[in-house]
């Protein structure tokens, strides 16, 4: 049974009737996302994948933190049902709302660094077991394991940088709730200057991780900084260290075309 048939059957079982229409939505490279519409005009988003139950738990925690995220309507096996949100072009007010929402997310504090469950981007496992300090977490749960299997010169440079992290990163920053994969494509803007976070990969860590990712494949729009507020001194120096991890993930998933990005991050981190 294909994704459309699985989503339709699961929707009929959960909501009582089968949707009248289904169409694909943009869902990145690693998942199937469908918009289901019923005869009465009601709509639901269905997302299919092996880890959607973990995503559902992440979204629920984000909403508990007061951050804007779609409501979880149910999860049946590998099908997650989410509130369907209207989408429009981003305005300055919407970017400001996104910044304010991210500040609320980051204000939600964890007991330590990590998450109760591991996660994955496709074939790249994301270990989330706790570490006693932040430089250890970034080295042992992010940089070093993600560099495994990449060309030897890249892995060597990553290992060298990992050894220097106690000098480069704060030892015990406040464990903020992170979106974990916050590029501009995972922000959804709607009418009335609304903004929502989608497709999280949550864990607790240094808030600058999300900010670094948001600057990797583009730039946040005007208004974002006003909504988010002040950042910590030294953020620019730490940014390439945090951007290195998603660059390594992309090289693992999509190949040597991302080697230049990895090398730019390493060069900027002077490793």
Q: 181 has which bridge partners?
A: none
Q: Give CA–CA dist 86/30, Å, rounded.
A: 22
Q: Which residues of the chain have pLDDT under 70?
A: 27-30
pLDDT tens digits for range 252-267: 999 999 999 999 999 9
Q: Which residue in the list 153, 181, 193, 210 is annotated as catalytic? A: 181
Which pTM value belongs to this model? 0.96
Q: Give CA–CA dist 182/134, Å, rounded.
A: 19
Q: Give CA–CA dist 58/43, Å, rounded.
A: 22
Residue 17 is classified by DSSP as S
Q: Which residues contact 157 (CB under 8 A, 6 or more apart)?
A: 266, 271
What are residue 33's phi and psi, to 5 degrees? -130, 130
* Closest listed residue to residue 245, CA positions, set 122, 162, 132: 162
For residue 270, the model assigns a pLDDT of 87
For residue 3, the model assigns a pLDDT of 86
Strand bridging mode 119-121 / 124-126: antiparallel
193 included as an active-site residue: no
Question: Which domains are present in the chain?
Answer: 3-83 (3.30.200.20), 92-268 (3.90.1200.10)
SS3 116: coil
For residue 57, the model assigns a pLDDT of 98
For residue 26, the model assigns a pLDDT of 75
176 close to 204: Cβ distance less than 8 angstroms: yes
* Closest listed residue to residue 100, CA positions, set 200, 202, 193: 193
For residue 27, the model assigns a pLDDT of 58
Q: Is 37 exposed, middle or buried (0-12, 13-18, 19+ CB in 10 A)?
A: middle
């Amino acid at each position: 049974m294909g994704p459309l048939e699985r989503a339709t059957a699961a929707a009929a079982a959960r909501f009582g009737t089968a949707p009248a229409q289904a169409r694909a939505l943009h869902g990145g490279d690693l998942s199937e996302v469908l918009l289901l519409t019923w005869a009465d005009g009601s709509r639901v988003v269905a997302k299919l994948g092996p880890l959607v139950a973990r995503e559902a738990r992440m979204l629920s925690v984000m909403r508990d933190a007061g951050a804007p995220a779609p409501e979880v309507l149910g999860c049946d096996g590998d099908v997650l049902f989410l509130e369907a949100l209207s989408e429009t072009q981003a305005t300055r007010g919407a970017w400001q709302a996104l910044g304010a929402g991210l500040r609320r997310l980051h204000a939600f504090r964890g007991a330590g660094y990590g998450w109760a469950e591991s996660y994955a981007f496709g074939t790249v496992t994301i270990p989330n077991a706790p570490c006693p300090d932040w430089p250890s977490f970034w080295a042992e749960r992010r940089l070093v394991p993600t560099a495994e299997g990449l060309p030897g010169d890249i892995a060597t440079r990553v290992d060298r940088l990992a050894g220097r992290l106690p000098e480069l990163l704060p030892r015990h920053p406040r464990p903020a709730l992170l979106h974990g994969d916050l590029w501009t494509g995972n922000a959804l803007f709607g009418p009335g200057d609304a903004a929502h976070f989608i497709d999280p990969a949550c864990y607790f860590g240094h808030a600058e991780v999300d900010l670094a990712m948001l600057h990797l494949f583009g730039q946040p729009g005007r208004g974002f900084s006003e909504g988010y507020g002040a950042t910590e001194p030294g953020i620019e120096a730490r940014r390439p260290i945090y951007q290195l991890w998603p660059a390594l993930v992309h090289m693992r998933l999509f190949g040597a075309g991302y080697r230049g990005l990895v090398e730019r991050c390493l060069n900027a981190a002077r490793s």
